[in-house]
Structure 1
Amino acid sequence: MGLFSRLFGFGNKSSKTEVEVEPIEYKGFLIYQEPIAEGGQYRIAGRITKEVNTELKSHRFIRSDVLSNKDDANELMLKKSQMFIDQMGDNIFS
């Protein structure tokens, strides 16, 4: 139940601190690497955004992959995001 609580925002919000993430631009999309700390490891997670017809569209995803190093989690998230963008294009937001 703990994972679902964190995913849907039912966890203890007072202990969370928002960290500003610098996006990486790829083919007109912005990729935000936002791994989730989980039991001393990091779950692959992030957002892909793009302005479409003056509206900011966003796609958030969380993968089952868990890595021991935050930098490795960020790198894998970036590669998976780029592959997803290459395969889906603007259909990501459909």
Structure 2
Amino acid sequence: MSFLKKLFGGGSDKAGAAPSVDGQEEFEGYVIKATLMRSGGEYQIAGVIEKEIDGELKTHKFVRADKFTDKEACVATTLSKGRQIISEQGKALFA
């Protein structure tokens, strides 16, 4: 039965598990984590931006439509996209 759930998007064996981090970096006081999504034989841009504000860890998740066959290229582009989001939105990111 679990095979059919996976086939039709009904769940996974790791329900509630945190996504795996494929790469991360610090940028202007924020932490950017690449949490790539698999789509067929390709990797899709997905990441998390985190910052501790007043003792509370704030997070912002992002996903983009871009897909890559090379995992390292996707990680590099995801981190670059995270830097772009921080540069454009800054403190308003968590507002």
Rounded to whole Å, the distance in 2 between the matches of 1:23 and 1:49 is: 11
Q: CA deviation at 1:81?
A: 0.7
Q: How many residues align?
A: 87
User: Identity over aligned residues, as a percent?
Assistant: 30
SS in 1 for 2:47: strand
Give 1:13's aligned residue. Answer: 13
Residues 18, 93 of structure 1: alpha-carbon distance in 2 compared, 3 angstrom cutoff: closer
Query: Per-residue displacement from partner, 1:7-55 (whole Å, max 9, x unpaired)?
Result: xxx5212498963555311000000011111100000001000001111
Question: Which range moved further: 32-41 or 11-20?
Answer: 11-20
Confirm or deny: 8 A CA contact 2:36 2:43 kept in the other structure.
yes
TM-score of the superposed pair, with normalisation by structure 2: 0.79
Give 1:37's aligned residue. Answer: 38
Q: Which residues of structure 2 form unaligned runs of 5+?
A: 1-5
Q: CA deviation at 1:79?
A: 0.8
Q: Which residues of structure 1 form unaligned runs of 5+?
A: none
TM-score of the superposed pair, with normalisation by structure 1: 0.79
Q: Which amino acid aligns with 1:59?
A: H
